[in-house]
Amino acid sequence: MRIEELDFRLPPRLIAQRPSRPRNAGRLMVVGPGWEEPQHRRFQDLSGLLRSGDLLVLNDSRVIAARVKGRKDTGGRVEILFLRPAQGAPDTGENPGECWEVLLRPARRMRAGTRVTLGGDVGCELLQNLGSGRFMLRLPSGESVRRVTDEHGEMPLPPYVKAPLKSGNDYQTVYADQWGSAAAPTAGLHFTRDMLQQLEAAGIEIARVTLHVGMDTFRPVAEPIVEEHQIHQEVYSIPPDSLASIDSARREGRRVVAVGTTTTRVLETVYAGAQSGAGATAPATGWSELFITPGYQFCVVNAMITNFHLPRSSLLAMVMAFAGVDRMRHAYRVAVEKEYRFFSFGDAMLLYPGDAGISR
C-alpha cells in the first residue's frame, strides 16, 4: 500500500476541540458491506444497532498525566512525555530506579548521560538515545513514575487539540481503570455509564481488555510503502474472565464488537491465526507489535467502533484493512461533506467487515 492511499482532505474546522455533551450525543456513521452509502445515526442509537448476544469489548487503560516539564543541568527547559516502561534497561549492579521510554522535547543535542530534573526535585538520567526524539530515562532509586506524573504531570492531549480541558476526566473513558496510557483509547470516550447499563440490559455482554496506548498514536507513517513503517510495541493483557467471554462468544457464533483500534489490536494479537470458534493462540499478557494493513485476515473481530483517524496514520490503515480501502475512502469523503467531527473528541463509526456480511 502506498502512503498516498492514506491521504484525504480535511478542513481544519472539522477537528473537534472538545468532547460532545453528553458524551454519547455525537454522530455515528454506520458503514456496512451491503449498503451503497453510509448510514447516519447518533452514538446513543448504538443499542439498536447491536443485538442481544453480542460481546462488546472495551479497552480499560487509564491515561496518565504523562507530560512533565523539567530542566537540564545547564538550565534549559525540557518537556518529557512518559510513553511506557523501558525494555532492556542496562543493569548497573546497583539499586536501580524505574526506567521508562520517553519522548523528549527539544531532543536536539541531548545524549546519554544527560541529567534532567523533573518537577523541581526529581533528578533523572538519560540512559540511551532510541531515535526519533525517544530516550530511555531512569528515575532515582525509590522514586516512581506514578508519583512524578500524579504530582507534576499534565494530560497529554494530542497536538491538534488546542482548547484546554475543562476537566482531566474529559480525556478518560468512564471505565478507565488500568493506569498506563500516554493517550486515550478515544473510541471509548463516547460511552456513558448509563449507556453501558442500557447495553447490558439489552442483552449485550461486556468484556474488558487492556492495551496501554503509546508512541504510534502521535507518529504518522512516513515511509512511501505503508508496510515498511515500523510500529512500536504496546503492552496488553486480557484478564481470565474476559478471555472466557471471548472464547464463549466465538464458540457460540456470537459477534465480537471491538471498541477502538487498540481493542482490535489486543484481540487480533491474542487470537492471531485462530480458526473459527477456536481459542487464543498467544499469551493473554505481553507486548503487541501487530501492524494491521490491507490484506490482513481478521480472526476474531466481527465489528468495530472507532473514531475518524488522522491522514497517513497506521490506524487509518487498520480500518481500511477491516472495512475495505475503497469503502473507507468513500466514507471519509462523505464525513467531510456532511461535516462530521474528526479525531480524538470527534464523532464515531460503526464498521462491518469489507469482505463479508454483518456477522462472521
pLDDT digits (tens, 9 = 90+) for 273-311: 999 999 999 999 999 999 999 999 999 999 999 999 999
Does domain 3-63+164-351 correspond to CATH entry 3.40.1780.10?
yes
Give the contacts of 298 (CB within 8 A, at least 6 positions apart). Answer: 268, 321, 322, 353
134-138/122-131 β-pairing: antiparallel
Q: What is the pLDDT of residue 315?
A: 95
Q: Where are the chain's structural domains?
A: 3-63+164-351, 70-152
Which residues of the chain have a pLDDT value below 70? 35, 88-96, 215-218, 355-360
pLDDT for position 94: 58
The pLDDT value given to residue 29: 98
pLDDT at 358: 33
Q: Determine the pLDDT at residue 359.
A: 35
pLDDT of residue 60: 98
- From residue 141, alpha-carbon distances to 6, 79, 127, 277 in Å are 45, 21, 15, 48
The answer to whether 295 and 321 have CB atoms below 8 angstroms apart is yes
The CATH code that applies to domain 70-152 is 2.40.10.240
Contact 236, 210 (CB under 8 A): yes
The per-residue pLDDT for range 137-160, each reduced to its tens digit, is 999 998 999 999 999 999 999 989
